[in-house]
Amino acid sequence: MFYVFVTCLCLSVLHLSHASLPPAALFVGMGYNLLKGNPDGDSHINTGKDPGLLMTRQILKLDPPDSPRELSYHEYPLCFSTHYKEVFYGTKSYQTRLLHDLIDIGNTTGDLSSHAFSLSEGYQSVNHETNMGGFVYIDEISLCNKGRSRYMTNLASSHKFNVGDEFAATVCSLPGTYNNQTYMDFLQDWGTHVVMETEIGWEKKIRKRFAVADIVRSLVGTHPELLVPTGAARGQTSSVSLSKAFTDNPTYLDTLNLNSRMATVSSTSKGSEHVSEPIKYKVVSIDEMLDAKYWQAPEDIVDGKLCSRGFENSLPVWRSNIQQALKAYAGYLQAPSPTDIAPSHPVSWPSETFALPEPTNGCPADNGPWETGSTTHTVNSIIATNPNNTFQYHGLQLKGLQTPTTLKMSYCTRAEEASVSRSLAWPSGSYCIARVSSRCPSGFSAGSIYHGLQSRPRRHYSDPPDQMVNTSGTVPSIHISTRNYYTLSYCCRNDGSESAPIILPHQEPFYLYPDMRTKKCQKVLGMRSTDGWIRYPYTYTGSQCSSSYSSSSNYPYDEDCTHNHMIHYCYYTKETPVSSIDVVGRK
């Protein structure tokens, strides 16, 4: 979810352990509240100051205050800016991004670290924004590391380092028997962690967001492998989610040319080129401060009336109680658990008018109710004794009646344009649909298939036709001649590769027609297709295939347009569900 952090290139390093240190270096030893903190800063005043830093709670003594012997400080007087990007789409991925700003959080109890930052205003703001759904957020970060300040823990015993007086007095006033409220108050005052190391300098952060719909539209034409078909979302049975491969690599966003469609959400900063502030820090759990190595002047502590004589024997007891309190702290404050909602876009059938053959399990549920109807094409029993004058079928899952002498074809029809929010347009590809209105949807061209109704020359005009057709309910655009033929109208397109997957609802079976120019089923994301066909009875005259443009073949794949129509149908069923590890926000 983020680029690997690159330490800035520095031209020289100065070790200033005995000179006056910049104020930002003196955050070491300060209390830090992991639940209330946020390295992004205070969202309300638009600053980078971390609300988890307890500025008045100095846990480790720094002596002398302006140049402490306990600290090792390195200054980098000149450095080049580092730039990187991080992506998030929910509070869990946002929390992960924030933890990247902490060099380390020590041996923190699992329950506490899993709720990190969840009580900060910035976290709550992100929670509100991401719960609206439909967006992916990207932080563009520029920083310069101008120095590092570190508490020299390994010298604590030999150099007689100590905790601060106020902290010592507070610890020594804690009861030996665990009292939940007392220890909760202690954590509220002093925090859950202690800052042990800081990187100082300046940092600028610009937060932007992209609509998932825009990302999906772009990826389907460039990187469909980065999209994952998923289930119900916002009123539709189907959705498309962004894969982990996409969200784990922010560089993909740079390839989509979506800059004109992104929105800037906020801009924050820490420090400046002239004034340094902490930009990253390492913290350890506050219970570690009750290790005896940080209490190296017990006589001074007793003489200062901070603790009673023999207090050292109680340090392990107090530490155990603080550890117990840390485990209960998130529950005590009712800290929320971070979650990620997979960035997804609901998929619906396009809103323009069209019709599709109805499969055996009925019309799709999305954007219903659909209007249904059927055409019935029958063959005179007299001529049906010749197999060439009968219907033949292969690999079909069509609703209706299919016998050698009768073909009842049922349809699912969108007879009026539907008002469907978030509806995608029909995608580019190579496929056909049945035409309903006087014009095809955008991107399609019109074509027709004429079905003759005579299998032999007619002796007398008054003789009944060898074949007949009638309709019931709502059907695609059809013209029935008085006696000789009927015409079904189609809308076809060939503006994309049939092997490049298109996005359509993928939870329920449906039919499309393969285009005559490719003669193959269009690939649909999340669906498998099978090819079936119907061979129509022989016709002596009247059968043909026609396009709105004479040089094109804007009609479904038909192996014989003149005598025995053999029209192909593509049946789509849901693929085996993808592994949830491919989908962000799902485990």
Q: Report the pLDDT value the prediction gives residue 582, as an integer from 0 to 100.
A: 57
**pLDDT at res. 572:** 98
Buried b / exposed e along 306-331 (16+ C-beta atoms within 10 A): bbeeebeebbeebbebbbebbebbbe
Task: Determine the distance from the C-alpha atom of residue 56 to the mean position of all C-alpha atoms in its chain, rounded to a whole number.
Answer: 41
Mean pLDDT on 325-336: 96
Over the stretch 32-46, which tens digit does the pLDDT of each residue have? 999 999 998 876 555
Look at residue 351 in the predicted model and tell me its pLDDT. 86
Collapse the DSSP code of 127 into the 3-class scheme (helix H, G, I; strand E, B; otherwise coil) and give the result: helix
Is 386's pLDDT higher than 60? yes
Q: Name the band, by pLDDT with cuts 50, 70 and 90, for residue 69.
A: very high
Report, as an integer, the average pLDDT of 518-522. 98
State which amino acid sits at residue 81: S
Query: Which pLDDT does position 46 carry in this prediction?
Result: 53
Query: How does residue 29 score in pLDDT terms, banded at 50, 70 and 90?
Result: very high
Higher per-residue confidence, 586 vs 497: 497
**C-alpha distances in Å from residue 475, one per residue of 175, 356, 403, 436:** 82, 10, 21, 8
What pLDDT, on a 0 to 100 scale, did the predictor assign at position 35?
Answer: 97
Compute the residue count for the chain: 587
Provide the pLDDT for residue 3.
36
What is the predicted pLDDT for the residue at 298?
A: 93
pLDDT surpassing 90 at residue 108: no
Q: How far apart are CA 62 and CA 60, in angstroms?
A: 6
Report the pLDDT value the prediction gives residue 425, as an integer from 0 to 100.
Answer: 83
For residue 140 the two structure tokens come to: 């563009």
pTM (two decimals): 0.78
Beta bridge partners of 227: 242
Instruction: Give tens-digit pLDDT for 336-347.
Output: 999 998 888 899
Query: What is the predicted pLDDT for the residue at 406?
Result: 97
Question: For residues 417 and 492, what is the distance between their CA atoms, to the nearest angstrom?
Answer: 19
pLDDT tens digits for 146-203? 889 999 999 999 999 999 999 999 999 999 999 999 999 999 999 999 999 999 999 9
As a whole number, the mean pLDDT across the chain is: 88
Query: Position of tokens 């055409």?
Result: 375
CB 442, CB 425: distance < 8 Å: yes
pLDDT higher than 80, residue 366 = no
| 556 and 311 Cβ atoms separated by less than 8 Å | no
Task: Grade residue 258 by pLDDT with cuts at 50, 70 and 90.
Answer: confident
pLDDT bucket at 548, cuts 50 / 70 / 90: confident
Cα separation, 504 vs 367, in Å, equals 12
